[in-house]
Amino acid sequence: MKSKLLLAATLSALLSFAAFAQDNTSGIKQDTKDAAHSTGQAAKKTGKKVKKGTKKAVHSTAKETSKGANKVEDKTAPK
């Protein structure tokens, strides 16, 4: 996940540098805005994926913990 964010940041930086190399000064500003917008969107998307994966892992862990607790409870119940 971090590598995707790093890749997006690197690409946006390269686009910004390429924009400065152009002669058209009005296009530089818009290109920089577009690159920043793309980077922001990539960061949001990455964050959402991380949140979803973490939530899934936590729920799965809780479910398995509950199963284990039930097994122990059955074994230790008074007869």
pLDDT in the model for residue 12: 75
Q: State residue 70's pLDDT score.
A: 85
Structurally, how many domains does the chain consist of?
1
Per residue of the chain (79 residues), give pLDDT as tens: 667 777 777 777 766 665 555 555 678 888 999 999 999 999 999 999 999 999 999 999 999 999 888 888 777 777 7
Q: Considering all CA atoms of the chain, what is the largest pairwise distance in Å, rounded to the nearest integer?
A: 87
Task: Yes or no: say if 38 and 12 are a contact pair by the CB < 8 Å rule.
Answer: yes
Please tell me the pTM assigned to this model: 0.50
Range of the domain at 31: 2-76
- Among candidates 41, 39, 34, 40, which has minimal Cα distance to 19? 34
